[in-house]
Chain A
Amino acid sequence: MQQKTDTSIITVENVSHAFGNKTVLDDINLSIGKGEFVTILGPSGCGKTTLMRLIAGFLKLSEGKISIAGSDMSQTPPHLRPVNTVFQKYALFPHLNVYNNIAFGLNLKNLPSDEIKKRVMQVLKMVSMTDYEERDVDSLSGGQQQRVAIARAIVNEPEVLLLDEPLAALDLKMRKDMQMEIKAMHKKLGISFLYVTHDQEEALTLSDRIVVMSEGKIQQIGTPTEIYNEPANSFVADFIGESNILNGSMLKDELVEFAGHTFECVDKGFEPNEAVDVVLRPEDIYIFEKTDAAQFCGKVTSCIFKGVHYEMMVTTTEGFEFMIQDYNSFAVGKTVGMLIKPADIHAIRKEQLLNSFEARVVDKLHVRFCGHSFKCNDASKFEHGTKLNATIEFDKITLDDNEENGMLRGVVSFILYKGNHYHVTVRTEKGEYFYIDTNDIWDYGDRVGVSIAPESISLQNI
């Protein structure tokens, strides 16, 4: 997954970072090649900005190592690092005009003024802002300010250009134009770009490689096509593009069962009957008038025109909901047939099948894990103080709107729709994760109480 270190310009090794006792980066390893366009992609709060600030040097590295251009920069202050940053809110100096903003870095290097002038004019031309050098930065539009911010960074000829969500503040049309310009600029300059964004489309458009992050961990590193076509886990599948993700079971190589039917597929190397997540892109499901060719049938429940295609929700006879995109529309209430080709089915190994925690028996009735003593029927079978493993099935945990009613408090950090139920991830105050299957609808960031019935906790010796 990693490139060879001799061609890489930035290497990040075993970097972890915490704010207070909240871990925001957990053992990050990453290397960025010379001239490569790498995007760090993830939802807000996934640690992507923290990682970039560590590379730029704005945050002090506490654990791990960061090398830039072959030398260890872990403790180097930002002004000595050969990188330049384009900030999210531009961060142009309001007391300087466009010319002096761009010349700021060059002036610090005490270059001769005609050299400075030459280089400033050059980058102004590059970002198509010639004739703006005398303008006050406050008088520029958002897009123009962004251009100046980019010019101010690249005029210093850094080894790596760091871009922190540079287009987040622009409107859609402007953003698309700027994406193309940034891409062209990368080609022209030949330096490495490290781009941070939460916009998956932007990442797919721009990057040579994408680093998908969530909850302070790297979920997958790969080219845009790899990430889109072969998502490493259900998080990546859900985050990149639209997907239908369902629970399935690999009956044997190249045969998978999900949504109450058996399908041929191309995945292999799983245990017989291994539980998997099945990922289906909405454009990969064929939808047509009900005929014998249909692998399964269902009823259209909604149909929305999306410009190029229609987006339909179809509930199958077995009660699974699919999102389907097609150029043809089918009326709501119509019974339709569906078909999926083997190559379009992606089976992904599940990261966990159960909630599993290290636990200790407190007394005949209680077992302690995650900082709480749970009532547990199994506890009587073990000696007091025994260290063991407590497991709880996904659907045996209840969530409560009122966090006071739960045994533990937590925040909903990830929700995955599985066709007929939701798979919800709850992060507790102490940073443990609970995975819950539920039919209730929750939202990201909901504060919930987590409760487990005494008969649902099973204990095993380690």
Chain B
Amino acid sequence: MHRKIRSFAGRRRNWTIPYVLFLAFFVIVPLALIVVFAFSNNEGAFSFTNFRKFWMQPEAMNTFIYSVGVALVTTFICLILGYPAAYLMSKMEPKRAKLMVILFILPMWVNFLIRTLATVALFDFLKIPLGEGALYFGMVYNFLPFMIYPIYNILQKTDKNLIEAAQDLGANPRQVFLNTVLPLSTPGISSGILMVFMPVISTFAIAELLTINNIKLFGTTLQENIYNGMWNYGAALSLVMLLLISITSLLNSDGSTKAAEEGNLI
């Protein structure tokens, strides 16, 4: 008996069992449940009612399109703001760059709900009306580090010899950037886009707090449905969102695999 236990523990593949179980219970089963719920009506029979409802109901559809728009704009602003910041940081001496990275990451140590509430308080104090502008501000403020870090990581690892080679071949500073630095940093950009776009599309707390519930994002719709016990419809909406996120990931697949190796935040 004792020997049996030992041989069981000795086999390396057996060590994965706890993780497999965890994945099964907390990832596979819930996902399967979402699919099952999404494709069944209130009586539990198989049907497409939920998707038809989403398709027919202009309200949900509009929220969805608006959310995608917000996510795109936020991602774009993050990229425009984040790339130069990452570029400058990669040019700094390592010690100062490290400090800058910490300064960018530091706000993330505060829970993001608290951070957003603080933003609301700040806007109140400055007498700036909450609304769409505040929404974008909150989004960019929250997700900018996710853009900066992967780009910085890639830029900072770029082989300096390649930049010298470009100069040597006659590239002026602008051409060095456009023909060498920028194309070499695309994995970081892809990773950054993914890491901003995906969470922005599903967030609801920021929209709720910073627009006093005036602007509804898809995440909010989702949360409301689930909250009100409309499990089947909520599951269908979740599935739509999952689909969108997996499409973005696939579009990025070339970049994101590379980025996963080199440039990711995690």
Contacts and interface: CB of A to CB of B under 8 A. Distances in A.
Interface of A: 56-58, 77-80, 83-85, 87, 89, 91-95, 104-105, 108-109, 152-153, 156
B183 interface: yes
A79 B168 contact: yes
B167 A58 contact: yes
Contacts of A87: 161, 164-165
Given A87-B161, A108-B175, A93 B168 contact: no
B169 to A, nearest CB: 4
Contact of B168 (A85, A92, A94, A109): A85
Contact of B165 (A57, A77, A80, A91): A91
A79 B162 contact: no
Nearest to B183: A95
Contacts of A92: 165
Given A87-B161, A91-B159, A77 B167 contact: yes
Contacts of A85: 164-165, 168
27 contacts: A57-B167, A58-B167, A58-B168, A79-B169, A79-B171, A79-B172, A79-B176, A84-B169, A87-B161, A89-B161, A91-B161, A91-B162, A91-B164, A93-B165, A93-B184, A94-B162, A95-B183, A95-B186, A104-B166, A104-B171, A104-B179, A105-B169, A108-B171, A108-B175, A109-B170, A152-B165, A156-B170
Nearest to A95: B183
Interface in B177-236: 179-180, 183-184, 186
Contacts of B165: 85, 87, 91-93, 152
B175 A58 contact: no
A284 to B, nearest CB: 43
A12 to B, nearest CB: 18
Interface of B: 159, 161-162, 164-172, 175-176, 179-180, 183-184, 186
A93 B164 contact: no
A93 B162 contact: yes
Nearest to B167: A78
Given A58-B167, A83-B168, A153-B168, 5 more contacts: A56-B168, A84-B168, A93-B166, A94-B162, A156-B169
Contacts of A80: 170
Nearest to A84: B168
A78 B162 CA distance: 13
Given A87-B165, A108-B175, A93 B170 contact: no
A56 B165 CA distance: 10
Nearest to A82: B170
Contacts of B171: 79, 104, 108
Contacts of B159: 89, 91
Contacts of B167: 57-58, 77-79
A58 B164 contact: yes
B161 A93 contact: no
A81 to B, nearest CB: 8
Nearest to B184: A95
Contacts of B183: 95
A357 to B, nearest CB: 36
Contacts of B168: 56, 58, 78-79, 83-85, 153
Contacts of B184: 93-95
A67 to B, nearest CB: 18
A108 B176 CA distance: 10
B163 to A, nearest CB: 9
B180 A79 contact: no
A85 B165 CA distance: 7
A53 to B, nearest CB: 8
B182 to A, nearest CB: 10
A108 B170 contact: yes
A170 B90 CA distance: 32
A94 B161 CA distance: 12
B258 to A, nearest CB: 11
Q: Point out which of B161, B175, B184 has the most chain A C-beta atoms below 10 A from its C-beta.
A: B161
Name the residue in A93, A105, A153 with the highest tally of chain B Cβ atoms < 10 Å from its Cβ. Answer: A93
A84 B171 CA distance: 12
Nearest to A162: B168
Contacts of A91: 159, 161-162, 164-165
Interface centre among B165, B169, B175, B184 (most CB of A within 10 A): B169
Which 9 A-B residue pairings sit nearest by Cβ, starting from the closest? A105-B169, A91-B161, A91-B165, A78-B167, A95-B183, A85-B168, A108-B170, A79-B167, A79-B170
